[in-house]
Structure 1
Amino acid sequence: MLRNKLPKLLISLCISLLACEQAFARLYDDVMASGYIRMGVYKDFPPYSFVQEGKPAGVDVEIAQRVAEAFDLELQVHWITPDENLEDDLRNNVWKGHYLDKDQENPLAMKTLADVMLRVPYDKQYAYKQDSLGYLINEMVVMMAPYQQERWQVAYDSERLDAVRTVAVFQYEPIGVEVDSVPAFYFTSAMRGRMRDMTHHFPTPRDAFAAMQSGEVAAVMAMQSEIDWLLSEADDSQYRLAENGFPTMGKQTWDIGIAIRQTDRQLGYAVEAVLDKMIRSGEMAEIFARYGLRYTKPEFYQVAEEAAISE
């Protein structure tokens, strides 16, 4: 009896899975016909993406809005709660969905995925990273369209430190870092661990900066845009930018781009064209400046400009 029902059950399951795939896998034509585009940005991540006065705000939100306007579409913000690593974020928000994020009316279907995910490190080595069996880890996504270059930055309390020309000063003065971040690893391991005892860990760069304002630490290290934002919000000349330079740290600058599903390259190319126009026209830099941030073009544009000057 059960044997007779198995083919029908399998057919039903396949149809349901196909409907599930169609429910959240939107290609270029689907997006343009729908009247809206769903852009993925990280939740509570100022100055890039956060809620201000009940509305989405931040650099990446404004960039997403410009993309939507370029296509004459409504912007739908897809808030991303970071998981353990970028691979999890890409899987949960770009190509598959989180196993806990179900539609109650159709348990087999995921609720929503982002059509485009912003603030993804643009790194070819990572994009083609392989697992222990030689399979591509990120084969279901494409990372493309770099629109900003990011770097690490230290801010310090000028009433406690005359300057920060070398990180060696943090053998004797405390510095605040975000827990489980690259700066946290760096200051607890560099110089044979001599800065470990002076490294204070906080949930976010904002908490670390608040600790500097209260006198608990003498400096803070985070991404350049985060530091610029915190200094702009504090609006106090007591807190200043340090001279960058982190020996033995490894990669200290990296490009930021977008991620799309491997099958959605047409949409990715269309978004890339919008971002390219914003960078070349200066509109991208203007968005960053409105939040009190310095803007650095991705490496591709820097190389092109240097080549043009040399000619």
Structure 2
Amino acid sequence: MGIKRLLKSCTALTLLLVLLPWGQASARPFDELMASGFVRIAVYKDFPPYSFINDAGEPAGVDVEIARLIADEMGLELDLFWMLPDEDLSDDLRNYLWRGHVLDHEHKHERLSGKKVADVMLRVPYDKDFNYMRGYIGEGVYAYQNDLVVMMSPYQRETWKLAHDTQRLEQVRTLAVFQYHPIGVEMETVPAFMLTSVFNGNLRKNVRHFRSPEQAFLAMTEGEVAAAMGMRGELEWLLNQHSDERFKMGDTTFPAMGKPHWDIGIAVREADRQLGYLVEGILEPLVLNGELQEIYQRYGLTYEKPAFFDF
């Protein structure tokens, strides 16, 4: 998923938002959006505990509830735009915010012509370096690579964590223990890259790669691995679903990671800053008055206020 690969991609210098020949999808001016009666907010599909379809067949998750709050405060109907993650964040921003996906998606509101794009995208890493990244375009000229989008309004701080089987590892004080015990991780993510690189690659033989954090966690419950590494929210959700005291969240920190903590916010098109400021004005009080924390707690998650609000 793009959000999980942002830091790895930055390291590899592969995060590029290129102005492609076929240009942007049709974007709605602010006045047209407000007059339409609905706001289209993008969330990731099948991404519990943030955005997913629950057992009752209804949209659920932290970001779904945040999207509802935004729409309600705007006095508009919510049109959820379900995103399928691409290779990295650049692809997700391009596909769902400014150019449109090569494959059309089904939506409740079809009054917009051309490819469908969201008005607001949630769960976007708030990263100024990425937002203002410049790249060489030829003939001695450098230009902003992400000039079509703007990241703003951080509403949560995320971090990498580790869950472990206490019957196999009572405590995990250092990653060095995984020279002797297998650990599961989602493939092609920052933790997967880090675990195969630290300690001169001595952990590599014990790193097991899975298609999702859930598969890595299930492998731990079945004894295939002694621990699973992923984002804190996903691991907390999985621990709550299994409710077995044998499996616990570790306190290990990961100094080998270039950026172990990061803020999560929204993204809008550069031309839609007015909409972004409106959403920012909705979310900021919810962060400060504790209402967002209550949403996270309902899903059994730890809420950490973004570093943006450390004042």
TM-score between the two structures when normalised by the length of structure 2: 0.87
Alpha-carbon distance in structure 1 between the residues aligned to 2:197 and 2:105: 42
Q: Would you say how many aligned residue pairs link Structure 1 and Structure 2?
A: 281
The superposition leaves residues 8-28 of structure 1 with CA deviations (integer Å, 9 ceiling, x where unpaired) of xxxxxxxxx99x95xx41122
The superposition leaves residues 142-176 of structure 1 with CA deviations (integer Å, 9 ceiling, x where unpaired) of 11000000000000001111100111111111110
1:128 aligns with 2:128: no
Partner of 2:255, secondary structure, is: coil
Query: CA offset at residue 243 of structure 1?
Result: 1.1
1:110 aligns with 2:114: yes
Q: What percentage of residue pairs aligned between the two structures are identical?
A: 52
Aligned residues of 2:158 and 2:262 also touching (Cα < 8 A): yes
Q: Paired residue for 2:277?
A: 269
Structure 1 residues 102 and 204: CA distance shift in structure 2, 3 A: closer
Unaligned runs of 5+ in 1: 1-16, 305-311
Aligned residues of 1:101 and 1:110 also touching (Cα < 8 A): no
Once the two structures are superposed, the pairs formed by residues 251-290 of structure 1 within 5 Å of their partners are 251-290=259-298
Q: Paired residue for 2:81?
A: 78
Which of these residues, 217, 231, 234, is aligned with residue 239 of structure 2? 231
Q: Aligned Cα RMSD in Å?
A: 2.0
Alpha-carbon distance in structure 2 between the residues aligned to 1:94 and 1:209: 32
Aligned residues of 2:184 and 2:210 also touching (Cα < 8 A): yes
Partner of 2:271, secondary structure, is: helix
Q: Paired residue for 2:66?
A: 63
The superposition leaves residues 220-270 of structure 1 with CA deviations (integer Å, 9 ceiling, x where unpaired) of 000011111111111111111111311322110000010001111110000
Query: CA offset at residue 111 of structure 1?
Result: 3.3
Q: Paired residue for 1:159?
A: 167
Which of these residues, 291, 294, 298, is aligned with residue 299 of structure 2? 291
The superposition leaves residues 45-87 of structure 1 with CA deviations (integer Å, 9 ceiling, x where unpaired) of 1111111121111110000001011112111100011111111
Q: Paired residue for 1:33?
A: 35
Structure 2 counterpart of 1:238, one-letter code: R
Q: Paired residue for 1:308?
A: none
Query: CA offset at residue 102 of structure 1?
Result: 8.4
Query: CA offset at residue 129 of structure 1?
Result: 1.0
Which of these residues, 88, 111, 126, is aligned with residue 91 of structure 2? 88
Q: Paired residue for 2:50?
A: 48
Q: Paired residue for 2:213?
A: 205
Query: CA offset at residue 100 of structure 1?
Result: 3.5
Aligned residues of 1:37 and 1:68 also touching (Cα < 8 A): yes
Alpha-carbon distance in structure 1 between the residues aligned to 2:101 and 2:35: 26
Structure 1 counterpart of 2:125, one-letter code: P
Aligned residues of 2:233 and 2:301 also touching (Cα < 8 A): yes
1:246 aligns with 2:250: no
The superposition leaves residues 122-153 of structure 1 with CA deviations (integer Å, 9 ceiling, x where unpaired) of 01001011223222111000110000000000
Partner of 2:79, secondary structure, is: strand
Partner of 1:110, secondary structure, is: coil
Aligned residues of 2:53 and 2:60 also touching (Cα < 8 A): yes
Aligned residues of 2:161 and 2:249 also touching (Cα < 8 A): yes
Partner of 1:131, secondary structure, is: strand
Structure 1 counterpart of 2:273, one-letter code: R
Unaligned runs of 5+ in 2: 1-21
Partner of 1:257, secondary structure, is: strand
Query: CA offset at residue 219 of structure 1?
Result: 0.4
Aligned residues of 2:101 and 2:115 also touching (Cα < 8 A): no
Aligned residues of 1:102 and 1:110 also touching (Cα < 8 A): no
Structure 2 counterpart of 1:132, one-letter code: Y
Alpha-carbon distance in structure 1 between the residues aligned to 2:198 and 2:129: 24
Aligned residues of 1:27 and 1:267 also touching (Cα < 8 A): no
Structure 2 counterpart of 1:125, one-letter code: D
Partner of 2:196, secondary structure, is: helix
Alpha-carbon distance in structure 1 between the residues aligned to 2:223 and 2:61: 28
Partner of 2:197, secondary structure, is: helix
TM-score between the two structures when normalised by the length of structure 1: 0.87
Query: CA offset at residue 101 of structure 1?
Result: 3.0
Return 148-157 or 236-245, whichever deviates more.
236-245
Structure 2 counterpart of 1:272, one-letter code: E
Structure 2 counterpart of 1:279, one-letter code: V
Alpha-carbon distance in structure 1 between the residues aligned to 2:202 and 2:277: 47
Q: Paired residue for 1:6?
A: none
